[in-house]
Amino acid sequence: MKKLMFLAVAAVALMCSCNSNKFKVSGTVEGAGDTTTLFLETNINGNWLFVDSVVTSGDKFAFTEDAAEYPNIYRLGCRGKDAIYFPIDSVDNIQIKTSIAKFAEDYTLSGSDNAVKMMNIDKQAAKFSKAGDTSSAAYVKWKDELSRDLVKDPAGIVAFYLINKYIGDKPLFDPLDKKDFKIIGAVTNAFANFRPNDPRTSYMVDNFKVGLSQRRSESAPRDTLVATEASLIDIKLMDQHGKMQSLQEVSSHGKVVVLNFTMMNQSFSPALNKLLNSVYTKHKASGLEIFQVCLDSDEAEWMQSVASLPWIAMRDPNGEYSQYASAYNITQLPTVFIIGRNGEIVERVGNVEQLETAVAKHL
């Protein structure tokens, strides 16, 4: 699953401690020679942030970085290849052995028990994904074993990784599945109790709320407007400038906010953005903000489309499988909501051509 990557050194710095402790990631990539560039990235609330890059020397490489204040997931990338994922806890020394030919297929991790555990999980998941086998008895048995192992350490970094992991285009632990949702809840609760200051905790709590709303939406009649749409469900994503944005935070300053779910690669996009720009330009001084959530799959194309937009534009890396889109009962694009100055949804705009009239009414 593609994730949005930004060169956001300041954001990464927030995850690092202020001491001189370091962690190390090193190893060999057979066939890399002296010219292959490798990338180290870290995950913050579902988005991948660039940490550093190195060029291999005689197939070898090494990264030495500031130790993070909390355990986190990292990945080693090589252009055109799937990435290798692993956890880092404090001053871990992780070793990776792989090859250019089978970069994320045939590799070994060592240096910590959690790294080895994640490697084994990812390799088994890759087999099921490649075979398109996510409903067989073998898959169900493997997932049950994962669940039992997961609840032994629900506040661990591997547990966090698992409840956010996808196999193909489907979540390993699906919030719409009653049994899976209990596992998600157990991990979320453990982080809330034992890691209240961990940056991942608030992200997990928000996702749990989204999953809860999603379950309620799925159980409601299809022609019924789900009651939770009247309340504001937070959305936390990186914007086009690499800044983490929160819908609740943006809506808490007494502004009228236009919440727009859309895609930039659709035929309607130029006209929609022209309309949004007209409304934004006219009413910005009166306290209007636009919070645009894009479900595009191609991050490079999306970034090119939104780079010069004057409002807050974000891309949900889960695309059409966005939990936020499900929580807001999005059945077509574009969809527009208006959030009043009190921070609550006051209108779902049925005809976007009437957006100017709708916004003016609430301003």
Say what the pLDDT of residue 27 is. 96
Report whether pLDDT(10) > 50. no
Say what the pLDDT of residue 15 is. 42
Report whether pLDDT(225) > 60. no
Contact 86, 58 (CB under 8 A): no
Provide mean pLDDT across the span 312-330.
84
For residue 171, say if its preceding peptide bond is cis, omega within 30 degrees of 0.
Answer: no
Among 13-22, 106-115, 341-350, where is mean pLDDT lowest?
A: 13-22
Say what the pLDDT of residue 33 is. 93
Name the more confident of 64 and 10: 64
Provide mean pLDDT across the span 139-161.
90
